[in-house]
Amino acid sequence: MIARHAKLLSRLSLPIFALIVIIIAFFATAASYILIRVQNDHTLNMANQSMKFVYRNIWYQFETMNNVAGFILSNPSIEGLLDRRYEEAYDAVGDYFALQTNLENLSLLSLLNDTGSRSTAQKSYAISIALEPGSGLYGIATDHFDPTPGIYKYEDLQDQIWYRSLKSGTRQTEWWGQRTGQSNSAMIYSARIKTSIKDGRSVGVVIVGADTGSIRSVFENAQLEKGYHLLLDENNRVIYSERYGFLESVGELPFIRELEGAKGSQVAKVDGEQHRVMFDTFTNGWKLLTVVPESHFTQYTFAISAIGAATAIAALLVAGVILRRIVVRVTVPITRLVSAMHRPEVLEFKEPLPEQNSGIYEVDELGQKFSSILVTLHALIEKSFVEEMERRQLQLELLHAQINPHFLYNTLDLINCRAIMAGDRESSHIVRSLANVFRHSLNRGEAWISLRDEVNQVEAYLHIQQMMMDNLQVDIQVPDELMSASVVHLSLQPLVENAIKHGFAGQVSNCCIGITAGRTNKGLVLRVEDNGQGCDPVRMNRLLRDHPGIASGGKAGGVRSGYGTLNVHRRIQLHCGEAYGLRYVAADTGTCVEIEMPFRIAERIPGQEELANV
C-alpha cells in the first residue's frame, strides 16, 4: 500500500508541481522583465528630459543673442548713427557717445535662465561693433579691438577665422568661443555683418558675447546622477562640460568620432565602460551631448531580479504545501480503495468496500459508485450462473425430446425397407426423402451444419413437395468449393417452405424455386428465389428489423411463422452477429431472399452417420 501510495502521489504531484514551477517562473520572469524595462526606460527618459531641458535653455540663450544682434541691425536710431556722414571728425563725437551709450544699455540686459532653478543666474551681454570705413564713426573708433562693449575698427579682426568666413558670405552668423579680458573669462560670441539700409554698403560687424556662466547655471539645474553633458562647437571643442575644460578639443575621442547625423542615441565605450551617448545639434552647428553609463540604466536590475526570485520561491513553497495537501487528500482515499479491491474477502463479495469520507465529493462519489458496481456485478454473476444452469437444463430436455424423432425416423426407415421388398419404388422414395428430412433436422442437436448437408435436406424436402405438386420446378446451383462451408442449421428449408406455402398460394402451374450460393467480401451469401406472388421487400426488411425475435409459433404480420423467416434471421444473428442475417431483394417477379453468414469451413462431427442410400 505504501509503495502504491508513493507511486500515485509522485505521479500526480511531480507533474503538477513542475507545471506550477513553470507557470510561476514564467510570470516571475515576465514581471521582473517588465519592471526592469519600466525602470530602465524611466531612467533613460530622465536622462532624455535632462538633455531636453539643457537644450531648450541653451537654445533660448542663442536666440536671445540673435535677437539682440537683430535689434541692433534693424534699429533706425542706431542705423542713423552708423550711416551718418560728418565733415569734421569732432562733429561725430556726440553721435559716437550716443551709440556707445546704446551699446552699454543693451549690454546690461539680463537673461533669466531657469525660473525653476535654485538661484536665478543673471549675466550681462558684451555687445560691440567693429566699424568699417563705410561708417561715419569709423574715424573716431578705437583702433584696437577688445571684445568688451564698445566701438572699434575692424583691422584687428581680419586675421580671425570667423571674420573671414563671415565676410565670404558662407553664413549670416558666426559663432565661436574664446577667453577674453584680464580675468580670462570664458565667453561665447556671435557676429553678424551690418550693412546700410540705404545703399547696402558694409558698415561693420555686430558682435554679441555672453559669459558661459549663464550656461553653467543651466547645466547645474539639470545635473545627472551619473554621467555628464557636453556642449561642443563645430570643431568639436568644448564650450561647456562638467568633465572637460573650456575649448578643450575632444574630436579625437572615439565616441565623438562615431557620432552620425544631427540627432540620435547610440551606445559607445567611454573609459572602458559602455555608455549611452545622446546628442542633438543646434541651428548654429553646435552639438549638445549627454553621456550616461549603461550601468546607470540597469542599476536596479539585480535588485528587481532578486525580489522576483525571492517572490517566486515563496510562491513555490506555498504552492508546494497546498499542492501536497490537495494531492494527499485525493490519492490516499483512492489508494485505500485500490487496496481494498485487491483483498480476497472483497473480491469474493464477503466484505463490502470501505466507505470513503475524504471531504472531496468526487472521490467519495467514486468509492460509492464503485461499491454499487461491485454489488451489481455480483448480482449479474449470480444471474448469469442461473441462466447457464437453465440453458444446460434445456439442452438436457432437448436430448430427451430427440427420442421421439429418432423413433419416428427408425420407423420410416423400416417402412422404406418393406416398400423396397414389396417392389413399391415410389413409396420407397417418398419415405426415404421424409426420413432424410428428419435425420438432417436432428443434426445431433448442433447449431451448425455443412452447406452440403443443408442442401441435401432441402433437396429431400423439395422431392416430397414435387411428389405433391406436379408443376413444381427446382433449380439448385451451389459450387462444389462452397459445399464444405458451415452454415446455421435449418436456414434454407424454412425459406423454401415459406415460398411454397405463401408464394405459390393459388398458383397451379409454372412454379419455380431457385437456390444459389456465392462468396462476397463479408462472407457466404445464399439466395432463395421464386416466381410466385411476390412481396414488398421494403416492408419485409422493416419487419425483420423491427421484430428481431419471434418465438416458435408466434405471429408476424398476421402470418403464422413457425420456423419462418423471422426465426431464421434471429438465429443467424445470435450465432454470427448483428451484421448478418436475412434481407429481401427487389425482383422483377416473385420473391428473392438472401442469407448472409460468415464464411468458414465445416468440421465433420466424429462418428457422424451417412445418409441411407437405399
**What is the distance, to the nearest Å, from the Cα of residue 74 to the centroid of all Cα atoms in its chain?**
72
C-alpha cell at 317: 513553497
DSSP secondary-structure letter at 503?
I
Q: Quick check: is 188 in a domain? A: yes
Query: Residues near 217 by Cβ (< 8 Å), separated by ≥ 6?
Result: 113, 114, 117, 119, 121
Q: What is the pLDDT of residue 435?
A: 67
Domain that holds residue 184: 46-113+120-293
What is the pLDDT, as a whole number, of residue 528?
A: 95
The answer to whether 548 touches 561, Cβ cutoff 8 Å, is no
Cell of 439: 435425420
Rounded to 10°, the helix 361-401/301-341 angle is 30
Looking at the structure, tell me whether residues 172 and 276 fall in a common domain: yes
pTM of the model: 0.48
How many domains are contained in the chain? 3
Kindly indicate the confidence band of residue 614, based on its pLDDT and cuts at 50, 70 and 90. very low
State mean pLDDT over 347-368: 65
Residue 113 in this model has a pLDDT that exceeds 50: no
Q: Count of CB atoms within 10 A of residue 285's CB?
A: 13
Q: Could you tell me the maximum CA-CA distance found in the chain, to the nearest angstrom?
A: 189
Picking from 501, 558, 557, the residue whose alpha carbon sits closest to that of residue 533 is 501
pLDDT (average), residues 511-535: 92
Name which residue leads in pLDDT, 589 or 575.
Answer: 589
Are residues 288 and 349 located together in one domain of the fold? no
C-alpha cell at 368: 460509492
Look at residue 595 and tell me whether its pLDDT is greater than 90: yes
Give me 143's grid cell.
Answer: 583702433
pLDDT at position 382 is: 77
Looking at the fold, whether 285 and 347 belong to one and the same domain comes out as no
Query: What residues are paired with 237 via a beta bridge?
Result: 249
> Is the alpha carbon torsion for 313, 316, 320, 322 positive or negative?
positive
For 531-561, the DSSP string reads: -SS---HHHHHHHHHH-----TT-EETTEE-
Cell digits of residue 291? 553621456
Confidence of residue 9 (pLDDT cuts 50, 70, 90): low
Looking at the structure, tell me whether residues 355 and 284 fall in a common domain.
Answer: no
Q: For cell 536622462, what's the residue?
A: 47
Mark whether 502 and 585 lie in a shared domain: yes
Pick the more confident residue, 21 or 394. 21
Residue 518 lies in a domain: yes
Percent of the chain with pLDDT over 90: 16
Sole residue written with cell 546607470? 296
Contact assessment for residue 332 and residue 12, using Cβ atoms and an 8 Å cutoff? no
Q: Is residue 308 part of a domain?
A: no
- Of 233, 238, 92, 225, whose CA–CA distance to 151 is shortest? 92
Strands 524-530 and 486-488: unpaired
For 108-192, where are the alpha helices, taking DSSP H only?
161-167
What b/e string do you get for 558-595 counting C-beta neighbours within 10 Å, with b at 16 or more? eeebebbbbbbbbbbbeebeeebbbbbeeeeebbbbbb
The answer to whether residues 82 and 131 touch, using CB atoms and an 8 Å cutoff, is yes
pLDDT band of residue 552 (cuts 50, 70, 90) is: very low
Q: For position 489, what pLDDT does the model report?
A: 82
Q: Which has more pLDDT, 582 or 349?
A: 582
Taking a C-beta distance cutoff of 8 angstroms, is the pair 356, 367 a contact?
A: yes
Q: Which residue, of 383, 400, 417, is where some domain finishes?
A: 400
C-alpha cell at 437: 428430412
Provide the mean pLDDT of the chain.
78
Q: What is the pLDDT of residue 561?
A: 39
H, E, C per residue of 63-119: HHHHHHHHHHHHCHHHHHHHHCCCCCHHHHHHHHHHHHHHHHHHHCCECCCCCCCCC
- Reported as type and span, the H/E element at residue 43 is helix 2-74
Secondary structure tally for the chain: helices H, strands E: 16, 19
Q: Is residue 431 part of a domain?
A: no
- Provide the β-strand partners of residue 100: none
Residues ≥6 apart with Cβ < 8 Å to 421: none
pLDDT tens-digit readout, 566-585: 878 887 887 888 889 999 99
> Which of 226, 196, 338, 362 shows the shortest CA–CA distance to 293?
226
Helix (H) or strand (E) holding 423: none
Provide φ and ψ at 551, rounded to 5°.
-65, 155
156 SS3 class = helix
388: amino acid identity, one letter: E
| Average pLDDT value for residue range 551-576 | 60
Residues 242 and 358 in one domain: no
Single residue among 400, 417, 442 that ends a domain in this structure: 400
Q: Which of 260, 293, 326 is the last residue of a domain?
A: 293
How far apart CA 280 and CA 278 sit, in angstroms, is 7
**Could you give the CA distance from residue 498 to residue 467 in angstroms, rounded to a whole number?**
18
User: What is the bridge-based pairing of β-strands 185-195 and 202-211?
Assistant: antiparallel
Quote the percentage of the chain above a pLDDT of 70: 75
C-alpha cell read off for 78? 542706431
The answer on 354 and 286 residing in a single domain is no
For residue 598, the model assigns a pLDDT of: 93
What is residue 557's predicted lDDT score, i.e. its pLDDT?
A: 39
Between 144 and 556, name the one with better pLDDT: 144
Using CA atoms, how far apart are residues 268 and 256, in angstroms rounded to an integer?
Answer: 9
Q: Do 393 and 483 lie in a common domain?
A: no
Q: Are residues 379 and 508 in the same domain?
A: no
> Same domain, yes or no, for 377 and 228?
no
pLDDT on residue 352: 66
- CB count in 10 Å sphere of residue 206: 24
What does the pLDDT read at residue 114? 39
Report yes or no on 257 lying in a domain: yes
Return the C-alpha cell found at 90: 569732432
- Tens-digit pLDDT profile for residues 129-171: 999 888 888 888 888 888 778 889 888 888 888 888 888 888 8
**pLDDT at res. 530:** 93
Query: Is there a contact between 582 and 570 (Cβ–Cβ < 8 Å)?
Result: no
Q: Kindly indicate the confidence band of residue 5, based on its pLDDT and cuts at 50, 70 and 90.
A: very low
pLDDT per position as a tens digit, 486-512: 998 888 988 998 888 888 888 878 899
pLDDT digit string (tens) for 326-345?
A: 777 667 677 766 776 666 66
Task: Report the alpha-carbon distance of residue 203 to residue 193 in Å, rounded.
Answer: 8
Q: Which of 92-101, 119-128, 255-264, 561-570 has the lowest mean pLDDT?
A: 119-128
Q: Please indicate, yes or no, whether residues 384 and 257 belong to a single structural domain of this protein.
A: no
Tally of residues, the chain: 614
Q: Are strands 173-180 and 559-560 parallel, antiparallel or unpaired?
A: unpaired
- Helix (H) or strand (E) segment spanning residue 330: helix 301-341
Residues 355 and 281 in one domain: no
The CA-CA-CA angle for residues 76, 78, 81, to 5°, reads: 110
Domain assignment present for residue 500? The answer is: yes
Inside any domain, residue 21:
no
Please report where in the chains the cell 425430446 appears, as a residue: 401
Instruction: Quickly count: other Cβ atoms within 10 Å of residue 329's Cβ.
Output: 13
Contact 230, 248 (CB under 8 A): no
Residue 276 resides in a domain: yes
Phi-psi region of 350 (alpha: psi -120 to 50; beta: other; left: phi over 0): alpha
